[in-house]
Every structure is written in C-alpha cells, then in structure tokens.
Amino acid sequence: MASSQSRASQPLILVRSSVNIDETYRVPHIVRPGETLSSTSLVSRSGGKGANVSAALGLQGAQVYLCGAVGKDADWPVEELERRGVKSDAVLRLDRVPTGRAIIQIADDGENSISVLLPGANFHREAASTSDPATAFKALPRPPTHLVLQNEIPLEHTKAFLSHAHAQGVTTIFNPSPMLIQEKVRDFAWDELNVLIVNEGEGADLLEAFGVRVPEGPQAVLDALNDLKQLAKLDWIVLTRGSKGVIARVRLSDSRENERAVLDKPSVKPKEVKDTTGAGDTFAGNLIHTLAQHQASEQTTKLLKRKDAEHVLEWAVTAASMAVEVEGALESIPKRQEVQHRWEQAWSQQ
C-alpha cells in the first residue's frame, strides 16, 4: 500500500510527547511497599512514551516527526530514534535541564513497574517550537495529517496542539497515559479528538472522573465509554487488554451513520514473555500507522470499512505481542517486515 504512494502523498505524523532515559532494574518481583530488594542488573536505555511510539511509527516506515526536548546530558536517545527512522528536527537540546528519566522494575515473569518518573526536559515550557503548535507545524516540510499526544509533557501544550490540529482537520490521537487527574479529565477537549487509546484501568479512570459507576468486564467498560456524551464525536475508542488483546468501538464507513461498531481481537500468543515495557506504545504506534495508511489509500481522513478497521487492530496486537519477546522499550519494537510475517502466520487464514 505504502509503496504505491509517493512520499509527498503519504501521511505525515507529528508526535508531540516525551523522551526519557529508562533506568531499568531486573528484580525477582515488583517491590512491595516497605520492601527492599537487590537488583540483579541495571541497564540504561532510550525510552519515554513519545520516543517509543515514534520509534514504532518509524520502524513501520511512517514519515514521523517527534516534537519534544532532551537535556545536553544525553544525545544518544535521539540518535537511537534517528536510527529507527524518526525525524528529530523538532527535538530541542536544552542546557541545564536533565533529560527525563524513568526508574523501571522488570520482574522475572516479565511484568514491569515504573516506580519513579523525572519529567526533566519534557516539562520545559519556554521554547515556541514545543509550546506553540503553529510554530511547530510551520517547521514541518508540509502540514501533518495526524497528531499523536500523550501525557508526559505539560498539559497546556497537549491542549494547545490538540486544538490547533483539530481546527486544521488533522486526525488527532490521544493516549492519556499517565492518566489525568479527575478535574483535568472533565476539563479536557474530548470533542476535538478522533482516536482514543486507553487500557482497562485508564478506561475505568475516565468513567469515574465523569461520575459513572465502573461496570464489570471490558465489554461493559467499553460500552459505558461509548455512552459518554463527552466522547460522542470520537471515531475510535480503543480499550487495550494486555495479553487478552483489544476491544474497540469504531465508526465505520459501511455501518449506520453515527453508530460505532464493536470490534474484538484476541492477542497473538508471544513465543515467550521477557519484558512488557513498551508493548502498549508499540501497539499504539502500529495502530496509528496502519490506520493512517488505510485512510490514505481510501483518500479519506476519517472512516474505514470494517475489514480495514479489523486489519488495523490485528496488526497492532501482533506487533505488541512481538514486543514482549525482547527486553527494553525501543529495542523490542519490531520492524514492518517482521510484523508482516507474524501477522500472516496469525491472521491471514481467518
């Protein structure tokens, strides 16, 4: 699909988000309150939700630009992104501000826990290139078709970029992780979004913030999100379920107007589970790229046919399952050809 398009006609995806250094400690199990554990290893790797999702997009062949900031204490995280196809022109290198850092525990069973997060350069507020969306958009070779936002940068920047993109007809994607406090949830411009990606816990947090009792079961949580008037304008509400796959409500071009159909895809069984760090961002990046490619092939910025929407979810869960097979965040994100091969094994006969 992408090979038949000229570079200029392909989607251009802007990620306004974070870059961190992940300080990863290997432990027997996730530390409990009051407990002290000895770590068997420490590895420093490039990470941060913005870096991870950008790398996932770059490895899929997307034309992706990351808008963010790092300190001059470490240039290598940006170099890691560039090697994965991410354009770093809009990444600032700041004096006297450290690069953001995350302290991560990896247990023997592959589960992870981010125990400490240092915002660092991610929360720099002064430069126009990261705080003013008009400046950031003008620095791109052409207007973006898609904007990806998360929650490891100042909220006022997220809101400004979202409003600017929405006004220009850009497809907007939000993965609110870490979740906003309830007051900020209620104040957010949800009607300016096209795609929302949350896990089950984040979905429950959203319902609670809007005063809705959280029902039992993922289908019921998704249905409750679908019924929120604040989310009525979204085309995609995606609820990720970790090792159990994904369930989504999607507005389709071949379904009744304004109705969001339910799509449910199980996970693809990984060969082994080594580290779940970055799997959610791998899912998001692969979903966004595949969605953007289908939209470009249909010459629309909005709705897909059912079969194409199902392919988007199948591809994303396949990539996420591959990410848990390798330690690290950026290091674990598979390339497009690798995902293609695994997708064909898992889904092509269905």
Q: Is 256 labelled as part of a ligand binding site?
A: no
Q: Is 22 labelled as part of a ligand binding site?
A: yes
Q: Is 241 labelled as part of a ligand binding site?
A: yes
Measured distance between the N- and C-terminal CA atoms of the chain, rounded to whole angstroms: 21
Which residues lie closer than 8 Å to 73 by C-beta, 6 or more apart? 98, 99
Q: Is 96 labelled as part of a ligand binding site?
A: no
Instruction: Please give the positions annotated as active site.
Output: 281
Q: Is 51 labelled as part of a ligand binding site?
A: yes
- Structure tokens of 235? 């085309």
Q: Is 242 labelled as part of a ligand binding site?
A: yes
Q: Is 209 labelled as part of a ligand binding site?
A: no
Q: Is 197 labelled as part of a ligand binding site?
A: no
What are the counts of helices (DSSP H) followed by strands (DSSP E) for the chain?
Answer: 11, 14
Q: Is 194 labelled as part of a ligand binding site?
A: no
Q: Is 152 labelled as part of a ligand binding site?
A: yes
Torsion sign across C-alpha atoms 155, 157, 161, 167:
positive
Q: Is 49 labelled as part of a ligand binding site?
A: yes
Q: Is 245 labelled as part of a ligand binding site?
A: yes
What DSSP string runs through 29-97? SPPPTT-----SEEEEEEE-HHHHHHHHHHHTT-EEEEEEEEETT--HHHHHHHHTTEE-TTEEEETT-
Pairing of strands 12-16, 20-26: unpaired
Residue 246 near residue 316, CB atoms below 8 Å? yes
Q: Is 328 labelled as part of a ligand binding site?
A: yes
Q: Is 120 labelled as part of a ligand binding site?
A: no
Q: Is 55 labelled as part of a ligand binding site?
A: no
Residue 191, number of CB atoms within 10 A of its CB:
12
Residue 232 is which amino acid? A
- Note the helical H segments in the chain: 49-59, 76-83, 128-131, 133-138, 155-167, 182-187, 200-209, 218-227, 279-297, 306-323, 336-347
Q: Is 109 labelled as part of a ligand binding site?
A: no
Residue 115, number of CB atoms within 10 A of its CB:
12
Which residues lie closer than 8 Å to 337 by C-beta, 6 or more apart? none
Binding residues for substrate: 20-22, 48-52, 152, 281
- Residue list for the binding site for ATP: 199, 240-245, 280-281
Binding site listing: 20-22, 48-52, 152, 199, 240-245, 275, 277, 280-281, 323, 326, 328, 332
Cite the annotated binding site for K(+) by residue number: 275, 277, 323, 326, 328, 332
